Structure 1
Amino acid sequence: MRRRVGIVGFGQLGQFLAAEVQRRESLELAFVWSRGRVLHGLPPHLVLEDLTQAVSRRPDLVVEVAHPSLVRLHGEQLLRHCDLLVGSPTAFAEPDTEGRLLAAATRHGLFVPCGALWGLHDIRALADRGQLAELTVTMTKHPSALRLADAEMRVRCDRAAAAGGPAVTLYDGPVRDLCPLAPNNVNSMAAAAMAAHTLGFDGVRGRLVADPGMADYHSLELDLVGPSEPDGRAFRVRTLRMNPADRGAVTASATYGAFLGSMLEAAKGRGPGLHFC
């Protein structure tokens, strides 16, 4: 039986996913919803005008790729009727939102994509065993690729761009406080905080760096400290992912394929509860 998929958001990623759903015999596009955007290229019967009516389209899976506010407003209702893949996990930095959606995922699955963060399942496994001591995630992008909600951070970012270098650290601290300041840029950090559940949003350290020299890539660096030996030696993992990206692009090139993989995995269904894919 074909799985019905609804897409919330019709930016570049949403358009890509909608096209991929329509290409696959195992999937069927239930609807596309977008706020304030004309949905070119879609037949009228696939356009959903009111997101509160999403369940009337009988989706098996809804994929959110729009804004964390939509997760806060509609996530709980959607989970009562279908699986939900949250492309804006910065929404979970609000304890109320995280608590409500986790509690609502008793009949259907709540999915968080791994995105640009490799090793997410390993992070969760360490946390499950109580062996995760520290986790730092550093994201570095060209200033034009950052969409900042905080005015002071925007000023510093603009100054870095005008100066042409060196790199400027815009934020260094708990991921929870960073998420509302740059909700469209730090979803990988939010996913890491959820996987590292023994540290959580308050215990995972996030660093956001604006680098005028990073014109062709987005970089994501992970520094993890695990269990220690009696003599003080500690298990440690450091990874650096360099993702090709056009200047000014919020979403790097490889992210499209990674998110498609997440959607296809979520479309298989895993039952209720929280899942990373």
Structure 2
Amino acid sequence: MDHRAVPIKVGVVGYGHLGRFLVDRIQRDGPGVGLSLAFVWNRNTDKLTDSVPDDQILTDLAEFTDRNADVIVEVCHPHIVKEFGIQFLAHANFLVGSPSALANPQLDQALRLTAKQHGKTLYVPSGALWGGQDIQRMNDSGSLRALSIRMSKHPSCFRLGEGLLSDWSEVEGRRVLFHGSVADLCPIAPNNVNTMAAAAIAASALGFHGVAGEIVSDTALADYHLVEIEVTGLDGFSVKTQRRNPAELGAVTGRATYRSFWSSLLVCKGHGGRVYLC
């Protein structure tokens, strides 16, 4: 618990399921953990009516500097990271909920440079990634040799581009939709592979091109998402994990990820001008 007299002011960008969850938690539990709401922005401001006080609604995102947020949380789309990420980091710590945007090497480097120049932290939430800190420690010690991630979901839970899942039926069963580098996967499934993006950031020596990703459509997965990770190190070392994340049909984000994201937000109190997995 943070007992500071002045709470950390949080700006929330996006008001989908995850954004609403975070805003509700800040409004309800924020005073007890040292957080307050600086602003909420959503492309459709009508969704904020009756849920967010008028004085906390930001209608023009370009005016975010007027609200003096200490940390800005993006939970909407990689396009916002591309358009505003550098500006956010020039004024506040930035929790990027769409780390798939960092698969763009130019944007990744620009964000890292801005964080360093302004002494702000670019926070990357672990989300559904299990063992992210362990992967990062192996990466930093030079012992990480390979990393692969498979994410399996009911087809209704995918938001994909380029016809990867243009049609499906309840009797179809299991289908591998993509297998390749996370760098190639992020642009065509930006809303579904943020867990993989977080892993690629943790495994910076391998990077987005060196981490293997696979997404699987499985009509049997009506109650949860399945995340399988295989880590390979030196001298035959390897770890395999399997994580079941309870989720409703059609849900892009599993329920456990909401709680994980809240825990990540509580960490965002400034770690200097760098990237920080939380």
TM-score (norm 2): 0.94
Residue 135 of structure 1 aligns to a residue whose secondary structure is strand
* Whole-angstrom distance in 1 between the partners of 2:128 and 2:42: 24
**Gaps (5+ residues) in structure 2?**
1-5
Is the CA contact (8 Å cut-off) linking 2:161 and 2:189 kept in structure 1? yes
1:100-249 to structure 2, matched below 5 A, reads 100-106=110-116, 107-151=119-163, 153-155=164-166, 158-159=167-168, 162=169, 164-228=171-235, 234-249=236-251
Which of 83, 86, 91 is residue 73 of structure 1 equivalent to?
A: 83
Is 2:271 the counterpart of 1:270?
yes
Which of 36, 40, 43 is residue 32 of structure 1 equivalent to?
A: 40
Is 2:265 the counterpart of 1:254?
no
* Whole-angstrom distance in 1 between the partners of 2:165 and 2:128: 24
| Identity among equivalent pairs (%) | 46
* Whole-angstrom distance in 2 between the partners of 1:208 and 1:183: 12
Count of residue pairs brought into register by the alignment? 266
**Gaps (5+ residues) in structure 1?**
229-233
* Whole-angstrom distance in 1 between the partners of 2:18 and 2:172: 30
What is the CA distance between 1:166 and its match in structure 2? 2.6
1:198-231 Cα shifts (integer Å, max 9, x gaps): 1100000000000011110100000010012xxx
1:7-45 Cα shifts (integer Å, max 9, x gaps): 000011101101111222111100000112421211111
What is the CA distance between 1:271 and its match in structure 2? 2.1
Letter in 2 for 1:62: I
Moved over 4 A (4+): none
Is the CA contact (8 Å cut-off) linking 1:6 and 1:61 kept in structure 2? yes
Q: Name the counterpart of 1:52.
A: 62
* Whole-angstrom distance in 1 between the partners of 2:142 and 2:172: 41
* Whole-angstrom distance in 2 between the partners of 1:116 and 1:99: 24
What is the CA distance between 1:269 and its match in structure 2? 2.2
What is the CA distance between 1:163 and its match in structure 2? 5.4
Q: Name the counterpart of 1:42.
A: 52
* Whole-angstrom distance in 2 between the partners of 1:273 and 1:224: 25
Is 2:7 the counterpart of 1:2?
yes
Letter in 1 for 2:17: Q
Residue 80 of structure 1 aligns to a residue whose secondary structure is helix
Residue 250 of structure 1 aligns to a residue whose secondary structure is coil
Is the CA contact (8 Å cut-off) linking 1:227 and 1:235 kept in structure 2? yes
Is the CA contact (8 Å cut-off) linking 1:127 and 1:195 kept in structure 2? yes
* Whole-angstrom distance in 1 between the partners of 2:22 and 2:84: 20
Is the CA contact (8 Å cut-off) linking 1:170 and 1:207 kept in structure 2? yes
Is the CA contact (8 Å cut-off) linking 2:45 and 2:59 kept in structure 1? no
What is the CA distance between 1:135 and its match in structure 2? 0.4
Is the CA contact (8 Å cut-off) linking 2:129 and 2:195 kept in structure 1? yes
